[in-house]
Amino acid sequence: MLGCPDGEREEHLKGAGHQNSKLYSSSSVAYEKSMFSSNPDVMLALSVFALKLPGRETRFREPFFQNMEQIVEEVVAALLPMLDEKPFALFGHSFGALTSFAVAEHLKKQHNVEPVHMFLSGAPAPFSEIRLKSQRRSELSDEDFLRWLSSMGGTPPELLANPEVLQFFLPALKADLHVVENYRCARPEHPLLHCSLSCLDGKDDLPHNLQEWRCITSGEFTIKMFDGAHFYLKDPGNEKLLLDHMLKHLEASQLDYL
232 residue type, one letter: Y
The per-residue DSSP string of 146-200 comes to HHHHHHH--S-HHHHT-HHHHHHHHHHHHHHHHHHHH---PPPSS-SB-SEEEEE
Strand pairing class (117-121; 47-50): unpaired
Backbone angles phi, psi at 217, to 5 degrees: -140, 150
Is 233 within 8 Å of 242 (Cβ atoms)?
Answer: yes
Please choose, from the candidates 134, 152, 172, the residue with its C-alpha nearest in 3D space to the C-alpha of residue 30: 172
Q: Please tell me what DSSP assigns to residue 218.
A: S
3-state secondary structure of 13: coil
**CB neighbour class for 120 (10 Å; exposed up to 12, middle 13-18, buried from 19):** buried
d(CA 100, CA 26): 7
Active-site positions read: 94, 230
